[in-house]
Structure 1
Amino acid sequence: MSVNPKTGGPVSRNRVGGNPVLVFGATGQQGGAVASALRANGWAVRAFVRDPASARAKSLASLGADMAVGDLADSASIRRAMKGIYGVFSVQPSSGQGAVYGVSDEEEIRYGKAIADIALESGVEHLVYTSVNAAGEEKTGMGHFDSKSEIEAHIRRLDLNSTIVRPAGFMEMLMLPGMGLDKDIFTFFLREEQRGQIIAVQDIGKIVATIFSAPERYVGRTIEIAGDELTAARLRESLSRAAGTPIAYHRFADSLLEQDPFLGRLASLIDEDRLTGHADIRALDREFGPLLRFDEWLAGPGKPLLEDARRANDAPIALR
């Protein structure tokens, strides 16, 4: 048993046979990575899913995760899923993911607050919420970032043992269609002299699993996380090496950034150093074990994504 830093009482670390961790977004990128990492570390996992017959849900079930069928808009289904739960990993869809999810910023906030409130009501011992590295007291002007700041503030007001992680941009995001890799070009936000931090999604899972394993170290903390830091030159070199052919680098054209308010504001946040990331990567390596660098990721889990991006054929930009 560990000491609960908030109450001074015991905190259990439940593995297989004990109370599980409930993972929201379990069929998505972050939730899926967290569920897989928890199972690999011997935790019992309950996955909150809308469709247990989906391929991703079946994949989780094959790892030994239990399915809790529900909907974020249905608080009764969340309450049912939280019965007998030790911990909760909280992530919600957001407007930044595009129209495919159909979620407004207001809905994201409502869902994030409801999960925290029900966790408190249900006696959950540890909630881990995943936010974004641009979150903070000062608004960004991007609804899907400021929504996370509001959820963070709500969680901190509750008498609930919690940890907040603020990931950098995902390495997986760099392989989205529309960046030009099918034409031996990579187009992104960084100016030549700028740097930006990124993280592999599987490392988010690794970090969160470690946090659940040591509540005495992590309850009450907000941790910015990243696995590598890139410049335009690094992007050029790494992508060229991985693709086996020279890849040119260009920043998004000013005309595009002026025409598209979403992309334009993202570029501004990078120029303002709000979205570039300020994680201490070496300290994170020491605390959580070596995290993937971009070159390692490209040669490993990112390789099929790079191959797909190289075959994209004029697909539209999809950064949300």
Structure 2
Amino acid sequence: MTPTNKTVVVVGATGLQGRAVTRHLLRGGWQVRALTRDPNGIQAQALARVGAQVVRARMEDVDSVTAAAEGAWGLFSVQPTVGSPGTAPDFTTEDEVRWGVNVAEAAHDAGVGHLVFTSVAGADRHPTEKVPVNLVSKWRIEQHIAHLGLPATILRPVSFMENFTGGYALRNGTLTTGLAPDTAQQIMAVDDVGFITELAFRHPEEWIGRAVSLAADELTPVQVAEAIGEALGISLPYVQIPIEAIRNLSEDFAYANEWLNERGYRADIAATRRIHPAAMDFSTWLERTGAAQISVFMNSSRTAGQGA
């Protein structure tokens, strides 16, 4: 049964996940309080134009989040990880955990009826095996939510297809990551996380108390490069970055790539499709939005290179 109080607070509303969640909530008839540190920013104003109530709040300021959550029934929580766009150069995993804990405390103090937190697939394996630091940080936030006894849903998506739309993976006319060419990586479209989040808020009796890993496709980086190349009508070779080169920049990032190469997320794709049968595979995502995003990035990069 959909709650009668249809106000949901979206923390991190101007980020990739926050924007997707906000769009799906608004389509579902929810009233959305979109929290951001800069209500006058481009993304914040775009959310206001489609019907969200933009509210100034900062995850490092628990009181501001608590005030913004007062009277709301639901709250969506996502935190950036180290290196995420928009984070300060000195942002650490401890900052991420502190922000996630602050949001959980604010949800508790405001009496929120349903918290949906997006973690990451594999975080629950932290007690049994060594996992990358970004999984440990999400697990620590999950554990604090459990400690508070919040009525919560934990969503654990795998890597996002949107990671292939910018400089994170597209460099000098190649697809470039730290994964071995024959290592299959599980991926998912951010928009489908937004869909499932709205579904969870709409059916709290089915979702409160659940922790669910989410994945919609599984491809090697060579297959990803071939699919992008076919969609754009170009040749896009795959180039693996040597792990030692990554290690020279960051031991944590090097281990994360080693973990993906050797262990991986292990989410149940079939289970995700039972929840959301229309979840996009990579080809569908490219056809709908991905190819256009990649084309814009590659064209802007080419233009910038010519200008230099």
TM above 0.5, one fold?
yes
Residue 50 of structure 1, CA deviation: 1.3
- CA–CA distance in 1 between the matches of 2:97 and 2:247? 28
- CA–CA distance in 2 between the matches of 1:220 and 1:141? 24
- CA–CA distance in 2 between the matches of 1:118 and 1:21? 14
Q: Does 1:197 align with 2:186?
A: yes
Residue of structure 1 in register with 2:212 after alignment: 223
**Comparing 252-261 and 286-295, the one that deviates more:** 252-261
Residue of structure 2 in register with 1:84 after alignment: 71
Q: Does 1:112 align with 2:103?
A: no
- CA–CA distance in 2 between the matches of 1:255 and 1:79? 44
Identity over aligned pairs, percent: 33
Residue 170 of structure 1, CA deviation: 0.9
Residue 231 of structure 1, CA deviation: 1.6
- CA–CA distance in 2 between the matches of 1:80 and 1:236? 46
1:255-311 Cα shifts (integer Å, max 9, x gaps): 4234232432122111231xx322222332222231111111112211232113423
Q: Does 1:269 align with 2:259?
A: yes
Q: Does 1:212 align with 2:194?
A: no
Say which SS state the counterpart of residue 154 (structure 2) adopts. Answer: strand
- CA–CA distance in 2 between the matches of 1:266 and 1:143? 8
Give 1:167's match in structure 2, choosing from 141, 157, 162: 157
The aligned amino acid for 2:11 is F
- CA–CA distance in 2 between the matches of 1:178 and 1:52? 27
1:216-259 Cα shifts (integer Å, max 9, x gaps): 11111111111211123422320221120222222222442342
- CA–CA distance in 1 between the matches of 2:96 and 2:215? 24
- CA–CA distance in 2 between the matches of 1:94 and 1:181? 22
For structure 2, list consecutive stretches of 5 or more residues without a partner in the other structure. Answer: none
Residue of structure 2 in register with 1:35 after alignment: 22
TM-score (normalised: structure 1) = 0.86
The aligned amino acid for 2:144 is H
RMSD: 2.2
Question: After the TM superposition, which residues 28-67 of structure 1 pair with which residues of structure 2 at under 5 Å, given as runs?
Answer: 28-67=15-54
**Comparing 250-259 and 217-226, the one that deviates more:** 250-259
For structure 1, list consecutive stretches of 5 or more residues without a partner in the other structure. Answer: 3-11, 316-320
Shift of the 192–87 alpha-carbon distance from structure 1 to 2, 3 Å rule, reads same
1:71-128 Cα shifts (integer Å, max 9, x gaps): 1222221121011100000112232426843432222212211211221222111000
Work out the number of aligned pairs and report it. 299
Give 1:155's match in structure 2, choosing from 131, 145, 158: 145
Q: Does 1:143 align with 2:130?
A: no
Shift of the 104–22 alpha-carbon distance from structure 1 to 2, 3 Å rule, reads same
Q: Does 1:133 align with 2:133?
A: no
Shift of the 192–314 alpha-carbon distance from structure 1 to 2, 3 Å rule, reads farther
TM-score (normalised: structure 2) = 0.89
Shift of the 172–188 alpha-carbon distance from structure 1 to 2, 3 Å rule, reads same
The structure whose residues are more often helix, as a share, is: 2
Residue of structure 2 in register with 1:6 after alignment: none
1:139-164 Cα shifts (integer Å, max 9, x gaps): 64643331111001111122211000
